[in-house]
Amino acid sequence: MSLNTTERDLKRIFGEYGEIESVQLVYDRYSGRSRGFGFVYFETTKEAIRAKDHLRDAVIDGMRVRVDFSVTKGAPR
C-alpha cells in the first residue's frame, strides 16, 4: 500500500462494501512513517468477505494492494 494512503482513504474505499468498525494503519515506532499495511475491521464477516472479493488486485493511490483476512492467534495455553 502507498505510504501516502490514510485511514480516511481506506474507510472511504472499504466502506462501499459494508459498515466499518475501525481502520488501523501500522506505523514504524521509530520513524512514525507508515509501514505500508493496515487493518480494516467490518461489523460483519459477510461484509468483510464482500470487500475482499470486490477489492482483489485493487489499486489504491497508484499501488496494487493485497486484501486478505487476518488471523489473530489466541493466548498460549
Here the CATH number for the domain that contains residue 13 is: 3.30.70.330
Residue 73 pLDDT > 70: no
- Find the mean pLDDT for residues 10-29: 95
Whether residue 5 contacts residue 57, with contact meaning beta carbons closer than 8 Å, is answered with no
Select from 10, 73, 21 the least CA-distant residue to 47. 21
Name the pTM for this structure: 0.83
Please report which helix (H) or strand (E) contains residue 23, including its range. strand 20-27
Binned at pLDDT 50, 70 and 90, residue 70 comes out as: confident
Structural domain boundaries, residue 29: 7-64
Q: Is residue 39 part of a domain?
A: yes
71 found inside a domain: no
Do residues 69 and 48 make contact, with C-beta atoms less than 8 angstroms apart?
A: yes
pLDDT higher than 70, residue 4: yes
